[in-house]
């Protein structure tokens, strides 16, 4: 059995199955530099076309996990996390981590930046003045232990092979491989030392996977491989045919969460997804045996203000202002141009090209088309109308927050085109389509 990189590539190229030792050798070479970028690109392409079996996916995930530091926790409660495949207005992490912490879980969340039409949790926290999104590991550990949750960005110490392989996939048209997506997501989660993980796999017009069948295939792969690698995991398939929150951007989403946690405003769709994901985490972590009891505990954590208190403590512990939740407008950047986007006709929202709504935020400067692009934290969209909303002279499609009148008008054109209005009553489809590998 050859461990030469070129022989490993050849075997996969020809449709053969790789041994775990070969996969570990290749990933170790990728981390050390013994495997060249050309060889890594060839390996990614071979996997893209030939695919991996479940044991190969598990081996790849474990090899990438072990390419750097693996955190070991000694805490009085279970170490839990959530990962979303991304969408528009998906700001759940900011509410979920403190809600689970309020119920006795510990949530060391390593989040990512936005790319394409999807927003990144890390970019949202970067809009909070003083908040350190890339602390050292010791600070990450301390805040998680003392507060119950810490949301930070990926450090160089955790799963470095993933960072290298992802950058190669990004420029070689191999990002869409379910095998490689699975290993990429799970290696970072396993390196964080988790004891339970829930996956929020989105489907619909604003999701990475636009149809439920593809989303289900990814969810099944993630659940199967994570459990095979020793991490109890379940997945929910959730709807992204319209923005999850009525805000999309960075500072505007932090302001939205401030309203949600303090109870100033709590939208039904957003709250339902948050409660279901949190409840799933409590059952995975064996904080409670019943999903019904888990939902009740999360409802209480949010309604009582305990989740808000923990969020506030996390922000302070990582360098942010102590009164962010009470006075978000005093700390978050605001755009100079704020105005409504009115539709060209009245009617009821039938459906939304949600990806285009996300791209409107990117065009305003609130997202990236390349990883190195800077972000304008102030811009975005608020009061986004959902499916079934009656649009008239009083009710706009959204409110745009822009740097200039020209940028505002360009975003307005995209948003108007993204909304289809009609005369019939319209209802959104089921918010949570199904559970995969879920606790009962």
Residues forming the active site: 81-84, 121, 169, 184, 188-189
Is residue 160 within 8 Å of residue 67, measured between CB atoms? yes
Q: Which two tokens stand for residue 235?
A: 């997945």
Q: Which two tokens stand for residue 187?
A: 């290696």
Count of Cβ atoms closer than 10 Å to residue 228 Cβ: 17
Is residue 182 within 8 Å of residue 218, measured between CB atoms? yes
CA-derived radius of gyration, the chain: 22
* Residue 109 parent element (H or E): strand 107-111
Could you tell me which of 73, 58, 75, 82 has the C-alpha nearest to residue 189? 82
Separation of alpha carbons 44 and 175, rounded Å: 9
Dihedral angle over CA of 365, 371, 374, 375, nearest 10: 50
Is residue 404 within 8 Å of residue 337, measured between CB atoms? yes
Separation of alpha carbons 138 and 159, rounded Å: 17
3-state secondary structure of 69: coil
3-state secondary structure of 44: helix
Separation of alpha carbons 206 and 355, rounded Å: 4
Separation of alpha carbons 312 and 125, rounded Å: 13
The stretches of 304-435 forming alpha helices (DSSP H) are 306-317, 354-361, 405-418
């Amino acid at each position: 059995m050859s461990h030469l990189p070129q022989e490993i590539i050849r075997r996969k190229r020809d449709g053969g199955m790789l041994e775990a030792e070969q996969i570990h050798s290749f990933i170790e070479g990728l981390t050390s530099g013994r495997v060249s970028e050309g060889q890594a690109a060839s390996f990614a392409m071979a996997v893209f076309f030939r695919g991996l079996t479940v044991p190969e996916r598990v081996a790849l995930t474990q090899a990438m996990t072990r390419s750097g530091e693996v955190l070991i926790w000694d805490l009085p409660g279970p170490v839990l996390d959530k990962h979303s495949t991304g969408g528009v207005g998906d700001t759940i992490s900011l509410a979920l981590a403190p809600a689970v912490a309020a119920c006795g879980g510990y949530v060391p969340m390593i989040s990512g930046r936005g790319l394409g039409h999807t927003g990144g949790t890390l970019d949202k926290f970067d809009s909070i003045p003083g908040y350190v999104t890339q602390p050292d590991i010791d600070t990450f550990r301390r805040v998680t232990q003392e507060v119950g949750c810490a949301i930070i960005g990926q450090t160089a110490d955790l799963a470095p092979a993933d960072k290298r392989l992802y950058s190669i996939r990004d420029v070689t048209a191999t990002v869409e491989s379910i095998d490689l997506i699975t290993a990429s997501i799970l290696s970072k989660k396993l390196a964080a030392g988790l004891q339970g993980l829930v996956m929020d796999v989105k489907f619909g017009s604003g999701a990475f996977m636009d149809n439920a069948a593809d989303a289900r295939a990814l969810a099944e792969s993630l659940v199967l491989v994570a459990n095979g690698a020793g991490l109890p995991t379940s997945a929910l398939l959730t709807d992204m045919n319209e923005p999850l929150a009525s805000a999309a951007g960075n500072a505007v989403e932090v302001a939205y969460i401030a309203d949600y946690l303090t109870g100033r405003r709590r939208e039904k769709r957003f709250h339902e997804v948050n409660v279901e994901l949190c409840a799933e985490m409590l059952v995975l972590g064996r904080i409670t045996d019943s999903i019904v009891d888990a939902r009740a505990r999360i409802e209480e954590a949010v309604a009582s203000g305990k989740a808000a208190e923990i969020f506030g403590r996390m922000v302070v512990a990582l360098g942010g202002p102590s009164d962010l939740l009470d006075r978000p407008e005093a700390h978050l950047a605001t755009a100079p141009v704020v105005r409504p986007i009115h539709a060209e006709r009245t009617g009821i929202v039938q459906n939304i090209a949600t990806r285009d709504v996300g791209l409107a935020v990117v065009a305003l400067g609130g997202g990236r088309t390349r990883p190195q692009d800077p972000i304008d934290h102030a811009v975005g969209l608020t009061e986004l109308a959902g499916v079934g909303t009656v649009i008239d002279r009083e009710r706009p499609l959204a409110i745009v927050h822009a740097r200039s009148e020209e940028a505002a008008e360009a975003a307005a054109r995209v948003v108007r085109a993204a909304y289809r209005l009609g005369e019939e009553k319209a209802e959104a489809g089921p918010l949570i389509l199904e559970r995969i590998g879920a606790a009962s």
